[in-house]
Every structure is written in structure tokens, then in C-alpha cells.
Amino acid sequence: MEQRLLGALEAGGTKMACATGYANGTVIECTEIPTTEPAETAAAIVDWFSDKGAAALGIGAFGPTAVDPASPRFGQILETPKTAWRYFNLLGSIAGPLGIPCGYDTDVNAACLGEASFGCAKGLSSAVYLTIGTGVGAGVMVNGQLLHGMLHPEAGHVLVCRDPRDTIGEHSGCPYHDNCLEGLIAGPGVKKRWGGKRASELAGDPEAMDLLAGYLAQALVTYTLCYSPKKIIVGGGVADHTPIVPLARKKAADLLNGYLVTPELDDIDSYIVNNSLDGKQGVMGCLELARRALEA
């Protein structure tokens, strides 16, 4: 079969990763465009793709965003703290001018799809992909379908129990919740607690890592119990540049306390893992979204 060039757009709150590639996940060309004003950013994206000749585009967008094609807001960014982007029609402003089929989902669902199509979750029908960076987000695949529901999972904001050792103060790094995972372990919460430091600067601090891994473990247990995934993959800067994933793995096993007995949990080192695609899981998942849009 002829290989058709596909486009991928990983639309983030600070940068837009644009790429071309093929349905087998090969990335041919890529660039990054800073996320500024919506119209200006969308125009720069359209400009980059306009002479590439991609047959379809897959977009993985920062959320919350409307991913249900039946929704009147399909393709719009929703109630984001980035107010200029609120209700901006990201999909329409790019798909319209390019005039090619476009697949659209959340950035984390796209990354989950990337790992399930090309990475460590290949062949698995159910998986959770968690990213921990400036925020926390989760993509969820259940029975081969990316989970949407009424909106899409926002499992980065699951509530966790405060560790009594935590010095972060009453309010966490999340403006909505004092005790959610994102507020306690993402970049802003880390900076608030440790005098402006980044998680990567604290990677050698056993107490700091123990605290963060404890919160992550609580969330991993929740995902395990609620989504019953066959694998949980953790990416993002905080996870990539610290040992919190292996630390949280052991704590999650302790918290589960033998309640679930499955072959996957028997091999927990292969069950809770770091991302396997070297940070490209989002872009590669967008290529798969593009392939699906072309076939639809």
C-alpha cells in the first residue's frame, strides 16, 4: 500500500509540536511553534502544514476540550485558565484552511494511543497514560477505545490524602483543589513547596522523592481500581527526570495490599512504567489519529 504522508499536532499550553510522518509512527519532519494568542498560533500552524502535502492531520489538544463529534463545541478549547483560548475553535481554525481530514482528541489520549499503537502498550486493549509536568493529565483506553464519556477523563485532579510531612501549606499548586494530585506533584506545587525549585533539581533528595512518589502511588491505585488498565505508563518532565515512577510502583503495591491478584500486578515492574517512546508518544499518537481520520 502506498505510504501517505500524515500530519501530527500536539497542541500544548506552552508550545505546539507539529510533525509529519507515516502511519507506522515514523516522524519525518518536526517543528515547535510557541503557544501565544489563539488566532496567531493557529495561523502559524496552518502556515507550517500548508506546503507539506499531508493527507490527514491528527490533533492532540490541551484540555479541557470538547472531543465528542456530536457536541456543538467539538474541537473547542473549554474552561482553560488560559483565558484567551477559552472557547477557541482549535480544530475548525486548522482543519478549515488545510481542507484535509482531521482526527481530534486530548493530548493525553493521543499519547495513550501512541503507546498503545507503537510503544510499550502495543497490543493491549486497556491502558492509562499519565503525564506529570506543569500539570497532570491522563489518557485512558478501555477495550480499544479512547475514553471520552461526558467530556474526557480529568484524572490528574483526583483527590489524594495529604502526607502529614508535607510543608506546602493550605493551598496546593492547583487553583481549584487543595488536595488533588496535580496540585501536589506538578511543577507549580513543587515550586511552591520547595522555594521555586523544579522536580528535576530535587531528584537526588530522598525525602522529596518519597513525598511525591507517595501522592503518585495513591493516584495509581485509584486508576488501577477504577479503570482496570492492563498497563499504566507515566510520562512528562517530572516523571522523566526523577525516580518517582519506580518509587511509586512499590508504594502502589503496598497500598493495594494484595487485594487484586492478576498476572499484570504480579509483575508490577512491567505494569507501572515510564514512557517508552522517548517523549514522542504524543506526536506518534497524533499520526495514528490522522491515519484513522483518513480511513473514516
Task: Give 135 or 139: the residue with its C-beta nearer to Zn ion.
Answer: 135
Measured CA distances, 267 to 122, 135, 284 (Å): 17, 29, 27
At how many degrees (to 10) do helices 244-256 and 206-227 cross?
Answer: 50
At how many degrees (to 10) do helices 281-295 and 107-118 cross?
Answer: 90
Task: Give 87 or 176: the residue with its C-beta nearer to Zn ion.
Answer: 176
Report CA torsion sign: 138, 92, 114, 17: negative
Task: Give 57 or 174: the residue with its C-beta nearer to Zn ion.
Answer: 174
Task: Give 176 or 259: the residue with its C-beta nearer to Zn ion.
Answer: 176
The residue written with cell numbers 482543519 in the block is 95
DSSP 198: -
Q: How far is the CB of 186 from Zn ion (least distance, A)?
A: 9
The residue written with cell numbers 492531520 in the block is 57
Task: Give 55 or 159: the residue with its C-beta nearer to Zn ion.
Answer: 159
| Residue 37: count of CB within 10 angstroms of its CB | 11
Contact in structure between 187 and 136 (CB atoms under 8 Å): no
Chain residues in the site for Zn ion (CB under 5 A): 157, 174, 176-177, 180, 182-183
Q: How far is the CB of 184 from Zn ion (least distance, A)?
A: 9
Task: Give 105 or 182: the residue with its C-beta nearer to Zn ion.
Answer: 182
Q: How far is the CB of 25 from Zn ion (least distance, A)?
A: 32
By C-alpha distance, which of 60, 4, 55 is closest to 289?
60
Task: Give 75 or 214: the residue with its C-beta nearer to Zn ion.
Answer: 214
CA pair distance 159, 162, nearest whole angstrom: 9
DSSP 199: G
Q: How far is the CB of 234 from Zn ion (least distance, A)?
A: 18
By C-alpha distance, which of 59, 69, 58, 43 is closest to 4?
58
Q: How far is the CB of 85 from Zn ion (least distance, A)?
A: 18
Q: How far is the CB of 180 from Zn ion (least distance, A)?
A: 3
Q: How far is the CB of 158 from Zn ion (least distance, A)?
A: 9
CA pair distance 293, 23, nearest whole angstrom: 11
Is the peptide bond between 206 and the residue preceding it cis, with omega within 30 degrees of 0?
no
